[in-house]
Structure 1
């Protein structure tokens, strides 16, 4: 009788230790540190950096007007900035985001073009709706096109 009770206690203790151990491992891995990496020589990283900074500026105090303009000057070609001003006047929306508000999140995906970098930008909005833009960057790391379809040239 004593040995059966000892065996049950040992089995129960082992099961409890295993369950707690698995629970701790799952919690630690689920809440572990996140990392984001990139490099300035990578065009997709630069596109992601632009959209991250631009969305931060637009969602900040006073909609980050001056900072957003400086980001446009740094990352966008002069031609594209002119095109965006015309688009914005016609559509009463932000041409970089193609919207009147700021998304909750965004994802940048390399579309794999040969002569320049083309990336898909997926925005997630407060309603859960997703929209997609295509952004093209030249070899000088300047965005020269933002639209619903990719550019035809570099």
Structure 2
């Protein structure tokens, strides 16, 4: 055999081994149930967190509002920003309604609480008759969860009711 032919075969064999050996090691580890195999499997199955939206969606606006409002409440001096967020995202009628609710209940009407949650999520409850509805799930310290029902106008994308 020529030296050139041996070299080509060695390169091909090395390339095949470089691909197959790690795959074989992972498959063997997974079959054996070792930590390495489990971790490799979990990493490949888990998707990276994503967030998306569109300014044309009332549901996106609800999510954006709650995210920004909770962030503002978490920051020292965030009261002014929270007020500006209310002016931008909420209808004037809802702002008046919340002011009455807050006077009566001595709590934040947007969150229906006196403190700031650690997490939130927004789930669509459907749309129709010019509105979209969503459930906002707030998670508090200790894992306590509350739900708020929010309505937004499809034409203006502004939040028009919170219950």
Classify the TM-score, shorter chain: 0.7 to 0.9
CA contact (8 A) 2:61 2:158 kept: no
Moved more, 132-141 or 18-27: 18-27
- SS in structure 1 of the partner of residue 59 of structure 2: helix
Which of the numbers 55, 61, 66 marks the counterpart of 1:46? 61
Deviation at 1:25, TM superposition (A): 3.7
- Within-5 A mapping of 1:55-134: 55-62=70-77, 64-115=78-129, 116-134=131-149
Cα RMSD after superposing both structures: 2.0
1:146 corresponds to 2:162? yes
What TM-score does the superposition give when structure 2 sets the normalisation length? Answer: 0.75
CA offset digits 1:36-90 (Å, max 9, x no partner): 111100111110000000000001113x111000000000011111111111111
What TM-score does the superposition give when structure 1 sets the normalisation length? Answer: 0.79
Moved more, 32-41 or 65-74: 32-41
CA offset digits 1:5-57 (Å, max 9, x no partner): xxxxxxxx987442145532423544x53211111001111100000000000
Separation of aligned partners in 2, 1:34 and 1:23: 18
Separation of aligned partners in 1, 2:82 and 2:45: 37
- In structure 2, the CA distance between the partners of 1:21 and 1:101, relative to structure 1 (3 Å rule), is same
- Within-5 A mapping of 1:6-21: 16-18=25-27, 19=29, 20=36
For this pair of structures, how many residues does the alignment match? 133
CA contact (8 A) 2:135 2:148 kept: yes
CA contact (8 A) 2:26 2:40 kept: no
Which structure carries more helix by proportion? 2
Q: Rg bigger for which structure?
A: 2
